[in-house]
Chains A and B, each alone.
Chain A
Amino acid sequence: MNYGVVIFPSISHCLRGESLVQAAGLTCKLIPVPRELSSDCGTALRFNWVERDRIAAVLEEAGLETEGIHHLG
């Protein structure tokens, strides 16, 4: 599967992001931030890369701050 992740500034941002994404009918999974992206013990949302633009739009529309969207190689 071709995945991407959204990184958030805090866990509450991440949880809010998860409910926004799910409410939009998209799927995501809450995971720890992959080691190669950050050594911080944060959480991120993993999603199917094909839905990248839709997910970015959902988060932006809600004005939810993120720390970037990354493709998982």
Chain B
Amino acid sequence: MSKVVNAQGLSCPQPVLLTKKAMAETGDVLTIVDGTDQAENVARMARKAGWTVQMDGKEDGIYVRVTRPQEAAEPLPMGTAVPAGGPLVLTIPEDIMGRGDRELGAVLIRAFFHTLTESTTLPDVIIFFNTGVRLVVKGSPIVEDLQALVEQGVEILACGTCLGHFALKDQVAVGQVSNMYTISETLLEAGKVITL
């Protein structure tokens, strides 16, 4: 039995939430959204759950079809802790490193990301929020370092609400525009979280 979720006209977390709800009821969900951000967020959530994703850009919207593979594991019951050994997550809550002097903090964060590109231990995910999102947009001094990290397989998530607040949503130069559902899930499922 398939289910259609019409999420057109709905903004950021709603399409993900509605799709997730439908996925609890059936193994075949077609979600229709307006924009690529919403489509990507739905797709990412479904892939994370181990579902197959097909995206189709049509005139009236983007059709995201997610299907549960035959052998997919049952979802974990609510409140089940994910065992340690999950992803290494780095959070960047500000556009500087540390609190206190801004000029110094701006230098430190550049030095930190340069060092990260040369590190053998890399985070699985880096989450930028609040003024941290200024680091993923055009003109940020660390865009090239972040691109190098993406090429090495690091996932970069930038808080969409925060980008919106600073009117930077159309300036994103690297990473994915994400939402609080993905961000909180990523944090809760992490093996280790490091906050700069």
Contacts and interface: CB of A to CB of B under 8 A. Distances in A.
Contact of A30 (B103, B104, B114): B114
A14 B104 CA distance: 11
A43 B111 contact: yes
B65 interface: no
A11 interface: yes
B140 to A, nearest CB: 13
A15 B141 CA distance: 13
B113 to A, nearest CB: 10
Interface residues of A, number: 9
Contacts of A14: 107
A29 interface: yes
Contacts of A12: 103
Interface in A12-50: 12, 14-15, 29-32, 43
B102 to A, nearest CB: 12
B148 to A, nearest CB: 12
Where chain A touches its partner, the secondary structure class is strand
A14 B111 CA distance: 12
Interface in B133-172: 141
A6 to B, nearest CB: 15
A14 B108 CA distance: 12
A43 B105 CA distance: 12
A32 B110 CA distance: 9
B142 to A, nearest CB: 10
Nearest to B144: A29
Interface in B111-125: 111, 114-115
Contacts of A32: 111, 114-115
Interface in B88-115: 103-104, 107, 110-111, 114-115
A14 B115 CA distance: 17
B105 to A, nearest CB: 11
B107 A11 contact: yes
Q: What 7 pairs across the A-B complex have the smallest Cβ distances?
A: A32-B111, A31-B114, A30-B110, A11-B107, A43-B111, A43-B107, A32-B115
A31 B103 contact: no
B111 to A, nearest CB: 4
A27 B36 CA distance: 35
